[in-house]
Amino acid sequence: MEDLQSSLKDRNLSVSTITEKGRCLLTTRDFYPGEVIISQEPYVCVPNNSTVETRCDVCFKTSSLKNCSACHVVWYCGSTCQKSDWKLHRLECEAFSRLDKDKRKFVTPSIRLMLKLYIRRKLQSEEVIPRTATGNYNLVEALVAHMSDIDEKQLVLYAQMANLVNLILRWPEINIKEIAENFSKFACNAHTICDSELRPLGTGLYPVISIINHSCLPNSVLVFEGRSAVVRAVQHIPNGSEVLISYIETAGSSMTRQKVLKEQYLFTCTCPRCVKVGQYDDIRESAILEGYRCKNEKCDGFLLRAADGKGFECQECGLVRNKEEIKKIAAEVKLLSEDKAPKLSSTGNCQEAVSMYKMIEKLQTKLCHPFSISLMQTRDKILKLLMELENWREALEYCKLTIPVYQRVYPAIHPLLGLQYYTCGKLEWFLGDTEEALKSLTKAVDVLRITHGTNTPFMKELLMKLEEARAEVSYNNKQSYDE
């Protein structure tokens, strides 16, 4: 741990412990919006490969892949990636080769992440590959496992997975109980690796990043550049403050956020948003985000359960909506959105999926508050499908419908808000509305240069688009001036 402390000291950070929360990461100088606080390469990582999608094991690329000719389990984009991985994959490859061919199909990404963890640990202890201050097994040992909080069913599953890992590796010194505990550590500590547009690519363990605690109103954001995890300040963080990121989608009501955090990360959040649970403002906010709309279409009031329990009463105009009527629409929405619509999307039937989601949207506009998150999510799905269908005009309409809700549910500097402005700008650009595109792209850059920096290929492309839009707008203005 001393190694880690001194390596963090060089980055103006330190690890400390807080009684209720355990370890935390503190700043030892001021950090400003957009500044990188810390970045880390994964200790181990694995692409989320499945039967429908395959990625290179090292760089996560999807193009020109060849699988390892010895085990046929792992894929590479070329010899550079394959060679760089060989010291580690050699042991995994031997293990796979001993396994029946049909059994190799059952090696999931989580199993592989665990195999890689044990292989890296072994190679580091044998000094085949170097240990570093921020990349060694001691840091993995220090991660929380929450074993006493896990239910029986989950424990049985971890034990079965640990047995499978043991069966694949066949190392005499291996400790099955410890592997099960490590699966529990993965569940609370591993990160989903996403591309710049926040689409999931894989899973990685970043033991130093894992020290950073959660807040529903964080001062920092975690994004990935390739497979390295980068934490940037989104606010001014004074010297001596705790660095905080969000582990979850923060758009939900306090109850929803707390439920997700408890189920997935096994703790109760006490951030400034969560301590307000039960206060009037929080009740109002939850009723807007996840509650029903007023019977009067022109009223934007929020509804709370009426005193007689028979319905929901608008807090603005006093109109009451009948419980049975709400139940009926809610059941229809549930059936369509949980069963029928996902089936259509997964079969690639975009046009029919759009019609189905539009039916859901129609029902939700009758059911939910105009700023409802579920309505926003439905419109986002329609937007993505319309983009796949290259229906830019309608996609732009949907994008514009979501933006006021994004602005309401996310802080001003949030990657999802920046990305939504970017989508809007790209669509306006395609449709030839350069002036609007320039406005949207400017907003996108204002947010994303802070959350994403300016050096990645993704950001370079955005900045170039902004320049093009700027040039075209000033050219058009000059033309009209000359006339």
Residues that bind Zn ion (CB under 5 A): 56, 58-59, 61, 68, 70-71, 77, 81, 93, 216, 269, 271, 274, 294, 296, 299, 301, 314, 316-317
Q: In the complex, what is the shortest distance from the CB of residue 272 to Zn ion, in angstroms, rounded to a whole number?
A: 8
Shortest Å distance, C-beta 315 to Zn ion: 8
- Ramachandran angles phi, psi of 181, nearest 5°: -65, -40
Q: 79-98 and 152-169 are packed helices; what angle lies between their axes, rounded to 10 degrees? A: 100
Look-up of token digits 């890296």: 120
Rounded-to-integer distance, Cα 416 and Cα 393, Å: 21
Give the residue with the Cβ less far from Zn ion, 70 or 198.
Answer: 70
Q: Which is nearer to Zn ion, 16 or 62 (CB)?
A: 62
For residue 56, the minimal CB distance to Zn ion (Å) is 3
Q: Considering beta carbons, is residue 146 or 227 the nearer one to Zn ion?
A: 227
Neighbours of 332 (CB within 10 A): 15
Q: What are phi and psi of 229, to 5 degrees?
A: -90, 130
Q: What is the DSSP letter of 237?
A: B
Give buried/exposed letters for 233-265 (b at 16+ CB in 10 A, else e).
bbbebeeebbbbbbbbebbbbbbbbbeebeeeb
C-alpha 293: how far from chain center? 29
The nearer residue to Zn ion, 288 or 424, going by C-beta atoms, is: 288
Q: Quote the least distance from Cβ 300 to Zn ion, whole Å.
A: 8
Q: How far is the CB of 93 from Zn ion (least distance, A)?
A: 3
Nearer CB in complex with Zn ion: 213/337: 213
Cβ 305 to Zn ion, closest distance in Å? 15
Residue 317 CB, shortest distance to Zn ion, in Å, is: 3
Would you tell me the crossing angle of helices 457-482 and 434-452 to the nearest 10 degrees?
Answer: 150
| Distances in whole angstroms, Cα of residue 16 to Cα of each of 216, 240, 411 | 21, 11, 28
User: Least distance in Å: CB of 49 to Zn ion?
Assistant: 13
Q: Residue 9 or 72: which CB sits closer to Zn ion? A: 72
When the beta carbons of 68 and 417 are compared against Zn ion, the nearer one is 68
Residue 58 has, within 13 A of its CA and on its CB side, a CA count of 18
81 or 209, CB closer to Zn ion? 81
Give the residue with the Cβ less far from Zn ion, 77 or 164. Answer: 77
Cα 220–Cα 400–Cα 444 angle in degrees, nearest 5: 35
Q: How far is the CB of 302 from Zn ion (least distance, A)?
A: 9
Identify which of residues 38 and 294 has a Cβ nearer to Zn ion in the complex: 294
Q: How far is the CB of 40 from Zn ion (least distance, A)?
A: 20
Q: Which long-range contacts (CB under 8 A, 24 or more apart) does 134-138 make?
A: 134/4, 134/7, 134/40, 134/207, 134/208, 135/40, 135/41, 135/43, 135/207, 136/3, 138/1
Distance of CA 381 to the CA centre of its chain: 16
Closest approach of Zn ion to the CB of residue 318, in Å: 7
Nearer to Zn ion, 255 or 359 (CB): 255
* Token pair 């894929």 in the structure block, residue: 75
Contacts of 160 (CB under 8 A, 6+ apart): none
State in angstroms the smallest separation of the CB of 454 from Zn ion: 25
Cβ proximity to Zn ion: between 294 and 382 the closer is 294
Side chain identity, residue 416: L
The 3-state secondary structure of 322-343 reads: EHHHHHHHHHHHHHHHHHHHHH
**Separation CA 269–CA 252 (nearest Å):** 14
E-strand spans in 323-416?
none
- Cα separation of 443 and 412, whole Å? 10
Backbone angles phi, psi at 96, to 5 degrees: -65, -40
- In angstroms, give the least distance from the CB of 227 to Zn ion: 10
Directed axis angle between helix 457-482 and helix 415-430, to 10°? 40
Contact of 333 with 367, CB cutoff 8 Å? yes
Q: In this complex, which beta carbon is closest to Zn ion, that of residue 22 or of residue 138? A: 22
